[in-house]
């Protein structure tokens, strides 16, 4: 499934569940009454715009009513908070970047402390090929290699440095699959491995390119608004 389609589906399902929770866990007649009273106060404030004392009095009452409305809406919000955080975490891990595409060159960079020379080994006979020298000098703590794969798959490369080695998994795909581009290493010599996955942009709104989070927020707001209207939720 394309990430944009997946995010639309997830946004709709989450919005539907949250809306239903809100409807079930709040007294809707009371919530509608509070909303109406808030609207009435807004009208009164406009009518008394030339009377600062009266306006202050009405604004105070409106703030108290707003707080009451907020407190009553907190229960469904708190219940849905943890599942939404878990879903957002999952989405961040799966929709944050583009894959390393089959047939397209990419870069693997490694960062070191106190290392001058490092070698990258790729599986012999595999579709993953090195486009630069396997042995690289470390410059300013960094070494980088250009690679390409002619077939999709999971590949394991080996970084060899100062008598040590580290295995790194790479996914090259023709679908939306990838490993996290940045991997921090708890090692005094090797500190970070970074792949050149581009950040995934899903929506272009008047030149503003949005990733998974911005897209999710927009779709969630739209679905929440529509569902609240359809289900008559205040």
Residue environment code for 125-161, b if the CB has 16+ CB neighbours within 10 A, otherwise e = eeebeeeeeeebebeeeebbbebbbeebeebebebeb
Which CATH architecture does the domain made up of 100-195 adopt?
Answer: Sandwich (2.60)
Confidence of residue 49 (pLDDT cuts 50, 70, 90): confident
Confidence of residue 45 (pLDDT cuts 50, 70, 90): confident
140-186 pLDDT, tens digit per residue, is 999 999 999 999 999 999 999 999 999 999 999 999 999 999 999 98
pLDDT at 70: 85
pLDDT at 39: 86
60-91 pLDDT, tens digit per residue, is 888 888 888 888 888 888 888 889 999 999 99
Please state the rounded mean pLDDT for residues 96-115. Answer: 96
Alpha-carbon gap, residue 147 to 159, rounded angstroms: 14
Q: What predicted TM-score, i.e. pTM, was given to this entire model?
A: 0.78
Alpha-carbon gap, residue 14 to 80, rounded angstroms: 9
Which carries the bigger pLDDT value, residue 72 or residue 117? 117
pLDDT at 38: 86
pLDDT at 120: 97
pLDDT at 232: 86
CATH 2.60.40.10 location in the chain:
100-195
pLDDT at 206: 87
pLDDT above 80 (res 209): yes
Please state the rounded mean pLDDT for residues 94-121. Answer: 96
- Side by side, the strands of the sheet bearing 128-130 are 128-130, 142-149, 106-112, 190-195, 182-184
Which carries the bigger pLDDT value, residue 12 or residue 33? 12
77, HSE (Cβ side, Cα atoms, 13 Å) = 6
- Those residues whose C-beta lies under 8 Å from the C-beta of residue 212, and which sit 6 or more positions away, are 3, 7, 91, 92, 95, 96, 200, 202
């Amino acid at each position: 499934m394309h990430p944009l389609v997946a995010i639309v589906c997830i946004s709709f399902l989450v919005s539907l569940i949250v809306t239903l929770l809100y409807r079930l866990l709040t007294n809707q007649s009371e919530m509608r009454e509070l909303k109406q009273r808030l609207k009435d106060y807004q009208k009164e404030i406009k009518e008394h715009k030339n009377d600062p004392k009266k306006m202050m009095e009405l604004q105070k009452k409106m703030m108290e009513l707003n707080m009451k409305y907020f407190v009553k809406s907190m229960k469904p919000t708190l219940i849905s908070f943890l599942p939404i955080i878990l879903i957002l975490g999952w989405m961040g891990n799966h929709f944050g970047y583009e894959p390393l595409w089959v047939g397209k060159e990419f870069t693997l960079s490694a960062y070191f402390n106190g290392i001058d020379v490092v070698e990258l080994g790729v599986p012999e006979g595999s579709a993953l090929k090195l486009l630069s020298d396997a042995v690289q000098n470390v410059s300013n703590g960094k070494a980088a290699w250009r690679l390409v794969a002619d077939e999709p798959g999971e590949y394991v490369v080996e970084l060899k440095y100062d008598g040590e080695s580290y295995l790194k998994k790479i996914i090259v795909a023709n679908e939306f699959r990838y490993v996290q581009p940045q991997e921090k290493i708890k090692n005094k010599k090797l500190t970070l491995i970074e792949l050149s996955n581009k950040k995934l942009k899903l929506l272009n709104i008047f030149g503003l390119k949005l990733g998974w989070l911005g897209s999710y927020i927009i779709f969630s707001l739209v679905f929440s608004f529509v569902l609240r209207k359809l289900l008559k939720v205040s």
